[in-house]
Amino acid sequence: MWLLSVLLPLLRLYLCGVKVLIYQMFNKSFTLPVLPRQDGRVAIVTGGTRGMGYETARHLASLGMHVIIAGNEKEEGAAAVRRIKEEGCERKAEFVYIDLTSLKSVRNFAQAFKQRRLPLHVLVNNAGTMMVPERNTVDGFEFHFELNYLGHFLLTNLLLDTLKRSGRGGCCSRIINMSSATHYAGVVQLDDLNSRICYSSHGAYSQSKLALVLFTYYLQEQMVAGGFPVIANAVDPGMVDTALYENLWSLAQAMKKPVAKILFRTPAEGASISVYAAAASEMEGVGGCYLYNGEKRQSSPLSYDSELQAELWKKSCELVGL
């Protein structure tokens, strides 16, 4: 039983990875279309100090957005802001501290942002971690579950009224949730969301990415039902050469390095799907999608389970105290 609980998530996840690599072997990263200027719009990008988050923040700032990089590394944040501004003195970027593994920190961030009375047009829930050995957050949640999903769930809900007020007909506010192909291997255990029964880092990571897709679809339904000018989409960057892989086993890391040089996307290429969802004219008013390589794709069959979406939403609200 224990062996199956650990081995099956591992095999499912690596099978997903092989499929993605085969696709990337024969298909180039899509080219972003010419994007309209975004002057006067405000964006928050979590995990924007490095990797795909940084590239997303940098590109949105280049389009004229006021970009708030939200992260938990203050020195990295200051350096990221400095690099963005060096590319163009007119670019608006700033760093604000948030720890997505602490619900208190998420609430403090949201409260401080709302006190500034800024609009919010784009929220990119990009921050994440992968394959972390078993550990709990300060709130007692499994690390992948809170950092990748639950912290973003709370952040989005706390900022939702601002997003609603900032959007308007023909110019919706946009929420982008960073999922991955590993969600196809995911299973959401509503009675064991914190993976207490039998821990698998592969299973915990896949579950968190599936949870983000389920969250996206349910949130989009709510926005449509209420007639709010807000859209929500999930994006999949493919396999990208970032620090996410630093928790791989030593053997897996050794095998990954030569493959990554040939087949992995660069952080800028991986970020292009988030930038597309955040700024492309073609995505105006289009929500409830799973976007990969510039196209709408079918996500996992489980992600379309409306009962599971509703049950996860209800459970998440209970866990964060909404």
pLDDT of residue 18: 82
pLDDT of residue 260: 59
pLDDT of residue 239: 84
Tokens of 289: 């999608």
- Single pTM value for the model: 0.93
314: how many CB neighbours lie within 10 A of its CB?
A: 13
Q: Which of the residues 54, 149, 184, 205 is marked catalytic?
A: 205
pLDDT of residue 11: 78
pLDDT of residue 66: 97
Burial of 315 (0-12, 13-18, 19+ CB in 10 A): middle
pLDDT of residue 74: 96
Return the closest-CA partner of residue 209 out of 280, 273, 130, 279. Answer: 130
pLDDT of residue 81: 96
| Structural element, H or E, at residue 314 | helix 306-320
Given 3.30.70.20, 3.40.640.10, 3.40.50.720, 1.10.1370.40, which CATH number is that of 38-239+269-320?
Answer: 3.40.50.720
Q: Rounded to a whole number, what is the distance in angstroms from the first to the last CA of the chain?
A: 36
103-115 vs 151-166: helix crossing angle, rounded to 10 = 20
Taking only the tens of pLDDT, the chain with its 322 residues reads 555 566 777 778 878 888 988 888 899 999 999 999 999 999 999 999 999 999 999 999 999 999 999 999 999 999 999 999 998 767 899 999 999 999 999 999 999 999 999 999 999 999 999 878 899 999 999 999 999 999 999 999 999 999 999 999 899 999 999 999 999 999 999 999 998 888 888 899 999 999 999 999 999 999 999 999 999 999 999 887 766 656 655 545 555 566 656 678 899 999 999 999 999 999 999 999 999 999 999 999 999 999 999 999 999 999 999 9
97 is catalytic: no
pLDDT of residue 22: 86
Q: DSSP string of 235-275?
A: EE--SB-SGGGGGS-HHHHHHHHHHHHHHSBPHHHHHHHHH
pLDDT of residue 122: 98
pLDDT of residue 21: 83
Interatomic CA distance for residues 84 and 60, integer angstroms = 10
Return the closest-CA partner of residue 221 out of 287, 305, 150. Answer: 287
pLDDT of residue 23: 86
